[in-house]
């Protein structure tokens, strides 16, 4: 099938051609016709399948056919869960509608409302919005949704996950009963299935292949590495690889910030994008990355949801996700729309269970790279214990452990996006090698101070060359061999 077969306006065909779209993606081929014909639609498709064009192109065409330049009520509403996704959809409407006179604007929370209100006052045909800000501006009387002709509920399952379903229902209550409704959701939890029955009339169903099948396009590699050495491995890899843009996923927001600090220290330009960052910081990080001003973007799952970056050659899972579908979503950021890409994952001993789940879901085993400077040396799960106090920067690590009676300094607890049960590694801070006496033995220390030291029974020899096995799973250490020349 070609785009011409879809009966799209020449202006849309021209825009698609300029974007390099040769043939419609599966969701586009199935959805564009029915949406042009005014049908309701349920699309089981996720970001990365080309679903934005699947709804944006026919909506633009329908709007263009009856544009009144003197009076522009909002005629199409796209409701989407995150600001990033809203901005991206806004960009797509601009790109696909480049040769049309349809006007669109994007509104979302976390920023001042004045510029958004001003844009709305000029009149727009398409509004792309997140639910909170939309309800807010409706309540203030800045937005009237009574003339909406087409309503798109994007990433409905994500709306549910993020606790927006109440806001979504509030928006739906503001819409006219007679309208076209398109609902997109990667999965169909019960609540969303129930919602579809309430808000859609005789919908066409479009389902694109489940996400696990997209994995086949992507080259994958696994590096088994101890948690404490992940950051070293990351720097080493980035220095040895040529990719100009790399998206790195971490499990936590703190983790993302830590990785950015490490990379910056190693002179690798990087920024983080996560929920603790202001909207301005997130937009800046994303645009710096897209423009090539920084090489590495470090993201948590929620922040990265829906981010579309063109020709992303490499994704690195600094931490493996404990939800296997998340792995598929993450690596789907590379190898998009038929392009091939590479996904590298780091896996420490505790994450081997996640690896098993991922390989079960994708029905593939990820090739392991053995030849790297920091192979896994710890083959025991770390026990879950309270985080030890952070060592002060001035003190050597060996003396930095909490003294009896000293006040407990607890690190602020961060909600972690997609990591929950399963064995979770205790964060082990590896100090600068020179601060640790070679004879430090964590097994002895933890026996003497069970509640104050990490659960690790041994650690890498800080003076051993990278990759050399210096400890065994039972806690024994391999004695250091002296080089013959240095024997006294
Ligand atoms: P989406 O799922 O809408 O976020 O789209 C994912 C990516 O695929 C975006 O970078 C689009 O520009 C690109 N894309 C969408 N449709 C096509 C197509 N028919 N051919 C090639 N690339 C496309």
Instruction: Supply the pLDDT for residue 415.
Output: 38
Position 375 pLDDT exceeds 90: yes
Measured from the Cα of 23, ligand 1's closest atom is: 19
Q: Which long-range contacts (CB under 8 A, 24 or more apart) does 471-478 make?
A: 471/377, 471/378, 473/378, 473/379, 473/380, 475/443, 477/441
Per-residue CA distances from 114 to 111, 137, 279, 342 (Å): 9, 11, 15, 42
Is pLDDT at 424 greater than 90 in this prediction? no
Q: Which atom of ligand 1 is nearest to the CA of 53?
A: 3
Of the pLDDT bands very low, low, confident and very high (cuts 50, 70, 90), residue 305 is low
Q: What is the pLDDT of residue 326?
A: 84
Residue 369 pLDDT exceeds 80: yes
For the residues 54-81, what does the mean pLDDT come to?
94
Q: How confident is the model at residue 282 (pLDDT cuts 50, 70, 90)?
A: confident
* Strand order through the sheet with 150-153: 104-107, 126-129, 76-79, 150-153, 180-184, 41-44, 204-207
Atom nearest to 95 CA in ligand 1: 12
Name the range with the highest mean pLDDT among 42-46, 135-139, 401-405.
135-139
454 vs 431: CA distance, rounded Å: 13
Ligand 1 midpoint to CA 310 (Å):
9
More confident residue, 12 or 185: 12
Report the separation in Å between the CA atom of 452 and the middle of ligand 1, taken as the mean of its atom positions: 52
As a whole number of angstroms, the distance between CA 248 and CA 272 comes to 9
pLDDT band per the 50, 70, 90 thresholds, residue 306: low
Distance between CA atoms of residues 37 and 1, nearest Å: 18
184 touches ligand 1 (CB under 6 Å):
no
Q: Where would I find the beta strands (DSSP E) of 264-400?
A: 270-273, 296-299, 314-317, 341-347
Residue nearest to atom 16 of ligand 1 (CA): 50
CA 19 to ligand 1 centroid distance, Å = 9
Q: Among 473, 379, 390, which residue's Cα sits nearest to residue 427?
A: 390
Residues in Cβ contact with 147 at an 8 Å cutoff, skipping those fewer than 6 apart? 73, 74, 75, 176
Separation of alpha carbons 325 and 313, rounded Å: 20
The per-residue pLDDT for 324 is 85
- Pair of tokens at residue 295: 């090489």
Ligand 1 centroid–CA 54 distance in Å is 9
Reduced to 3 states (helix: H, G, I; strand: E, B; else coil), residue 343 is: strand
pLDDT at 431: 35
Cα(308) to ligand 1 centroid in Å equals: 9
Cβ-contact 355, 234 below 8 angstroms: no
Best-predicted range by mean pLDDT (288-292, 395-399, 457-461): 288-292
Beta bridge partners of 43: 184, 206
Q: How far is the CA of 85 from the centre of ligand 1 (A)?
A: 14
Beta bridge partners of 128: 78, 106
Judged by DSSP in three states, 453 sits in coil
d(CA 45, CA 415): 28
pLDDT of 405 above 80? no
Pocket test for ligand 1, best of 12, 25, 27 (most atoms within 8 A of CB): 25
Of the chain, the percentage scoring pLDDT greater than 70 comes to 74
Tokens of 164: 């927006």
The answer to whether the beta carbons of residues 436 and 418 sit under 8 Å apart is no
CA distance linking residue 242 with residue 246, whole number of Å: 10
How far does residue 44's CA lie from ligand 1's centre (Å)?
16
Residue with tokens 């001042």: 112
Got the DSSP string for 94-117?
Answer: HHHTTTS---EEEE-SSS-SHHHH
Residue position matching structure tokens 């600094």 = 318
For residues 209 and 222, give the distance between their C-alpha atoms in angstroms, rounded to a whole number.
25
Which of 104, 124, 103, 97 lies closest to 11, judged by CA? 97
What's phi and psi for 283, nearest 5 deg?
-65, -40
Burial class of 421 by CB neighbour count within 10 A (0 to 12, 13 to 18, 19+): exposed
For residues 103 and 479, which has the higher predicted lDDT (pLDDT)?
103
- Residue 428, pLDDT > 80, answer no
Q: 50: Cβ below 6 Å to ligand 1? A: yes
Higher pLDDT, 137 or 290: 137
Q: Whose CA is nearest to atom 18 of ligand 1?
A: 21
């Amino acid at each position: 099938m070609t785009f011409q077969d879809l009966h799209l306006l020449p202006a849309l065909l021209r825009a698609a051609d300029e974007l390099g779209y040769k043939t419609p993606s599966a969701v586009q081929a199935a959805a564009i016709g029915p949406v042009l014909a005014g049908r309701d639609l349920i699309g089981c498709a996720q970001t990365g399948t080309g679903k934005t064009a699947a709804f944006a192109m026919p909506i633009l065409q329908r709007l263009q056919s009856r544009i009144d330049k003197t009076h522009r009520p909002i005629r199409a509403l796209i409701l989407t869960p995150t600001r990033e996704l809203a901005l991206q959809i806004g960009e797509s409407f601009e790109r696909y509608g480049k040769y049309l006179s349809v006007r669109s604007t994007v509104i979302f929370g976390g920023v001042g409302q004045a510029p958004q209100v001003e844009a709305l006052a000029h009149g727009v045909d398409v509004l792309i919005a997140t639910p909170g800000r939309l309800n807010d501006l409706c309540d203030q009387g800045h937005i009237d949704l009574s003339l909406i002709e087409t309503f798109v509920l994007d990433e409905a399952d994500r709306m549910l996950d993020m606790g927006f379903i109440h806001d979504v229902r509030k928006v739906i209550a503001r819409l006219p009963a007679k309208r076209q409704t398109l609902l997109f959701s990667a999965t169909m939890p019960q609540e969303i299935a129930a919602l579809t029955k309430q808000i859609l009339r005789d919908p066409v169903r479009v389902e694109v292949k489940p996400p696990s099948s997209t994995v086949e396009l992507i080259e994958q590699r696994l590096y088994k590495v101890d948690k404490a050495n992940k950051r070293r491995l990351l720097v080493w890899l980035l220095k040895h690889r040529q990719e100009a843009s790399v998206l790195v996923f971490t499990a936590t927001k703190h983790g993302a910030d830590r990785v950015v600090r490490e990379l910056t220290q190693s002179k690798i330009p990087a920024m983080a994008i996560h929920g603790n960052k202001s909207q301005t910081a997130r937009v800046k990080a994303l645009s710096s990355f897209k423009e090539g001003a920084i090489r590495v973007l470090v993201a948590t799952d929620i922040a990265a949801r829906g981010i579309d970056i063109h020709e992303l050659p490499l994704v690195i899972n600094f931490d493996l996700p404990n939800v296997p579908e998340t792995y598929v979503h993450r690596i789907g950021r590379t190898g998009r729309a038929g392009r091939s890409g590479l996904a590298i994952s780091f896996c420490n001993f505790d994450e081997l269970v996640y690896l098993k789940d991922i390989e079960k879901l994708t029905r593939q085993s990820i090739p392991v790279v053995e030849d790297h400077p920091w192979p896994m040396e710890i083959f025991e799960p770390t026990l879950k214990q309270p985080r030890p106090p952070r060592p002060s920067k001035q003190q050597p690590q060996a003396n930095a452990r909490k003294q009896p009676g000293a006040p407990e300094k607890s690190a602020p607890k961060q909600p972690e996006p997609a990591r929950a049960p399963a064995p979770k590694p205790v964060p082990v801070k590896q100090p600068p090698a020179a601060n640790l006496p070679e004879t430090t033995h964590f097994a002895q220390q933890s026996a003497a101070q069970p509640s104050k030291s990490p659960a690790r029974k041994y650690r890498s020899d800080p003076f051993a060359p990278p990759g050399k096995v210096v400890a065994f799973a039972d806690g024994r250490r391999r004695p250091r061999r002296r080089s013959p020349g240095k024997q006294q």
